[in-house]
Structure 1
Amino acid sequence: MEEKKRVRKKSLNRNIVLFCIFCWLVPITIIYLSMTTSYKDNIQGKLRNMFVEKLRSTDVFISNYLDEAIDAARKPSYEYYLERAWEQYKADGNEGRNDCYMNISSNLRNKFFWDKRFDICAFYLEGEDNPFTYLSSNNYPMGSYMEEVHDAINELRKVDSSYAEVIVVDGRIFIVRNVYTISSYEKFGTLVLELNRKNMFSDITLDEGQFLGLCINDADGLVLKPGFTEEKKRFNLAQEVLEEYSSIYRDKLIIKQDNDYYAYLLEEKHDDYHLGLLLMVDKAVIDAELNHLYSMIYILILIMGPILIFIIYFLKKQITAPISKLVEASREMESGKLGVAIDGEDMPNQQFQYLQNSFNRMSKQVQYLFDYAYDEKLARKDAKILALQAQINPHFLNNTLEIMNWQARMSGDVTLSKMIESLGTVLDYHMDREDKRLIRLSEELRCADAYLYIISMRFGKRLVVEKEIDEDLLQAMVPQLILQPILENAVVHGIETVSTGVIEIKIYHDDKKIYVQVVNTGKPMTEEDKERVKKILSGDPDAIKPVPGKHASLGIRNVNERIKLIYGKRYGLTIEPIAEDKTRSLITIPYTEEDDEAREEIISNIAKLNK
């Protein structure tokens, strides 16, 4: 069966070829797929987040700029110079018009003309159609102002409100605010300020292929950052996005794209206006790096093809060919040809040359390994079993006990005679004159009964023994002297510690194991006791060192080790509390026929060594 399985497996040469192809194709495929799918999506997602964050930071900057300009437009109402000039003009009539003009012009010039945030400052007196004062820092003609801006300003002048309005006219941003008296709240004029667009966008930097614009309150007027050239495709997508602009949303993001551009529109509601920021990004700039990466992948694939062929040839010569020689020699040795040597030309590298020389040397020693080392290992194992068992075999003279028994009977002391007979049974059992490793369970129980009789004479009514034994197991073969040390441990650590104690002996089995259980009453096990028992059963040498006032517990350790040596590590002895005042000692040994066969094999091996 094993031969068939070996034949079905693929050869090393084929596996190396497949592995090289796999190591070539998989990374290339993964890189290509990740670049074209997840990596590309990840990059685009990060870029989108970066563009959105750029829009949000731009919104903060632009809104702060607009808020400061609106605050500047509100201040003249609270500084009274406009109101005082108007009241003086109202009191003096037309004769004071010139003085009113000089006062208002002078104050507005000081306030706004020299401020780089503003290009135009105009002031309308209530009831007059044309600007009373007009100041322009960029030399924008008043005639052009009247033709292009004046009508839009007049519409706002009709509104009875001091609320500052931000409007866009032909791509230019104006702040319009009706001015009222402080005392009587009477409208006496309208202040108009045009923001300097270049100054407003000066601190906003854009990368190559990016274009920025904004709209205020509606999409009709789009203010472009200088450099936003009127490219048809770009404006078509911009208009498509602006069609969805609405001033009702407090925070909204709109993203669109076509074959050439991405468009991001961020809508934000502010106290005095609704701001829409439009960012256009050229796809060609974004995709340039990805396209370059795709080209590098294609070049890498072309380069890796010849390299793959060379790697396969190299591995075949350096690895598979030498291994084939080693496998062939191993098969010959497996067929029974001991001392097989690998001849022929030298190996292609130092490592396989060493393996060839080592194989040739080791093949000559195989007979020794089979004929000597294996038997020597069994001998060491049996010697350990004998040494362990010898530690609990007492060396008393049984003949002396027979003389003592005869003297007791001559004196008529039946009780003493029975005790001597029981002790003789225990000692004779311990002497193991036939040097048996496995005995019938009935013989083990006979020794245990003799020991319990002696102990019962000592404790009297303090000790109660209960038995429950499966009679089908009386002929079962068990290791010698495994029950009495457990009973002795139960007496020393349990019965001696209480006024009245119970020892329960229960022997039973299931489909695979025989269980020898001893339950004794006594003081509860402490955590220290549990740890000490664990160390004793694990073979810790420090755990069995003599301690004043404590039993060494050598017997339970030897019982556990002998069972594991004979049957294997899955069998043995466990000791644990099962109730507050009860401790259970449980021995497990094999019961099934398969385990019996293994046990007989062990007995047979020991018998060979004894010969």
Structure 2
Amino acid sequence: MEMDTGRQPKRRLFGSVRQSLRAQIGLIVLLSYLIPVVLLGVFTGGFLMKKLENQTRAAITSGAEQAWTLTEQKIQRTLDLARDATYDGELMDSWQKWKDGSVGDNEYMRLGRSYLERKYSREPLLSFVACFPVEKPDMRMYLRNGAMENTGELQALCETVLAMGEELDTRCRFIRFGDNIYLVRNLLNLRMERFGMLILGINEESVFRPLTELGQEWDAQVAVRLDDCGDPETEWVDLGSGLTDDRKEKLYYTRLSGDIENGLNVQLTMDRRKQYSEVYSFQMLLLVMALLLLPIMILIGVYLSRRIVKPLTLLSAASRRIEEGKLGATVPLNGEDELGRLGRSFSQMSLRLKELIDKTYKEEIELKNAQILALQSRINPHFINNALEDINWTARMEGSENISSMVTSLSVLLNATMAREDRRLVTLREEMEVAEAYIYFIEQRFGTDLTVNREIEEKAMDGILPLLTIQPLLENAVEHGIAPAGGGVITIRCSLNDACMHVEIINTGRETGKEDRERIEAALHGQPTGKHLGLANIVNRLRLIYGESVTIRVDTDTPGQTTVSIVIPREIH
């Protein structure tokens, strides 16, 4: 008994929390306090990680720039050595003596080899030196790597260089021949005439040592380009200077010399994870912290989804169904909190609303259909009797020659009045079939004294209007205009636009008197008289279907002409 008493306050406490949305929101607010703390930790981690990343990028850039500068200095040194061969003048003097005949071939080659030995033999940046006069390329003077002459490689190199010299002018150019890089330059006299060619073989290990050592230290791939001598697998055109991070696997440091002749272009391709090892370690630490918080965040998300998001989603979906016309939509919310009570009230309201609207709608439809059918039933005998009378009259006057055709037309009229009682609306094309059947009768009656004109737009034929709208108007035109005058003209005019259909029935004949205008006015207000029953019925039917949006007008201002105009909206309100 004491244990049960102790549990009662706890049950009341948890029960109040479960039944109160406000208490649940308070709990959510408490949990939401933890989220800014986590976000602050992520922000701090992101700031420190960005700073660490920037320091790494600065170190990479600084080291690469230093290696590029040292390599560029060595390349400039080789260019200076190539220019000195012209500026020193010793090779030019030796060539001039040989050209004048002061010295022979052997002495000329000795003088040239002596100069090459003194100038280039101790230069660590060069692995090979050669020169020759353009008049006799076979007189080659060279240092080191004498085996090239035996293999024919030196001869092929000299032939290639000789062909290039015609376009070099005073410039130097690096070329790759075989597995080696060579620096080529024309030897010019004081009149800037080419008398020889100089070839310097580049000691790649010595020249590019700063870059290769840096590549080994960073475990990076090094690509170098001098003039046309470059790594064929590197797309130099698409590169941009500076440090580039593809944010996936690689870091690229690129230094381009642009359009500078003999400029050094370098690209270092590094493993991103190795260069950013400290950054990745810090990211891993943050990831572990995030994984530890993940179960808590999942529980919060599940709770919010089940207790708040899901009920509100059900209510919203049910509201949309009601908005779309699906009355009676309910929601399966039966809890004891505010959302549960709201769900039950919503379902009861929806069911009650459907019940009331269904009842009202059915009553209104039944009343309107009854009124329309009653009006149609009053029209049907009216024109059927007239049709039968015309058949009688034709049979007496002409014998039985036209009876078959008149019976066919009568069949169309009967189908319109009997077989279509369940259809309130038809197309103008169908309505004109009924009108044409009636026109046949009156043409038989009046013969050449009657002319019927049809001015109907083709697109109007698919317009919608109430059944038996045009035929009663034609009958009124005949009975009140054509018949008293003994003939005349009837014009049927129909057009259609985006908003409505225009129908006009124009007839000539007897002039309209004051008494006729009063009857017409009464019919336009839906009050039938003995002579204008059809017009009154049409007015009542149109207003029952379209309400006040339909327009009906009768114009008798022109003597001897009556115009009935109807504007029927394309949508029923």
- Aligning the two structures, in what range does the TM-score lie when normalised by the shorter sequence? 0.3 to 0.5
Of Structure 1 and Structure 2, the greater helix share is in: 2
TM-score (norm 2): 0.40
TM-score (norm 1): 0.38
